[in-house]
Amino acid sequence: MISPKIQDALNAQINAEFWSAYLYLSMGMHFEAEGHKGIANWFRIQFKEEQAHAEIFMNYLLSRGGHVELKPIEAVPTSWTSPLAAYQDTLAHEEKVTALINSLYALAIEENDYATRGKLDWFISEQVEEEETARDLIDRLKLIGDNGLALYMLDQELASRTYNVPAPLATAK
């Protein structure tokens, strides 16, 4: 059985993951409307990944005999001044998610919950990747500046991104 503290923290993280999904869906819809279909695709894939992260946490909580409590999702922003601004917001958001995951890990240590620590290892590695990807796109967009052709080329590249089921779900029963 999972401790009440861990259960509450995991339920809060599930809500945070769904909020993240909603944020990225909003970003995708914004850039779809702006004609940046590749950037929109990138954010739609992020939307799916965040939903998957929530599902991983829900599956884990249930596997430990816990109770999933879905709570309302707060409103998210709906517009951005540029792709650069959106990816800067993405990086800031992913840094917040990293802090949340780290806090969960610290709580698992405090509660002597080795199983939760093990589950969180995957998320810690995932957050390193998320932050690195956002930084890379920010750097590229800064290099692009006002060059419309370069932005078009990046947009075309991002259109080819595909969704891959995260390993914890791919191996789930």
pLDDT tens digit string along 142-157?
999 999 999 999 999 9
**pTM (2 decimals)?**
0.94
Q: What is the pLDDT of residue 1?
A: 83
Please report, for the domain that includes residue 150, its CATH number: 1.20.1260.10
The answer to whether the CB of 32 falls within 8 A of the CB of 40 is: yes
Measured CA to CA, the distance from residue 123 to residue 118 in angstroms comes to 10
Q: How many domains does one find in the chain? A: 1
Q: What is the pLDDT of residue 170?
A: 86
Give the pLDDT of residue 130.
97
pLDDT digits (tens, 9 = 90+) for 93-124: 999 999 999 999 999 999 999 999 999 999 99
pLDDT of residue 173: 53
Cβ-contact 97, 20 below 8 angstroms: yes
The range of the structural domain enclosing residue 139 comes to 4-170
| pLDDT at position 171 | 76
Contact 24, 46 (CB under 8 A): yes
Q: What is the mean pLDDT of residues 34-50?
A: 98
- Mean pLDDT (the chain) is 97
Put residue 73 in one of left, alpha, beta given phi > 0 → left and psi -120 to 50 → alpha.
beta
For the segment 17-33, the average pLDDT, to the nearest whole number, is: 98
Range 52-68 average pLDDT = 97
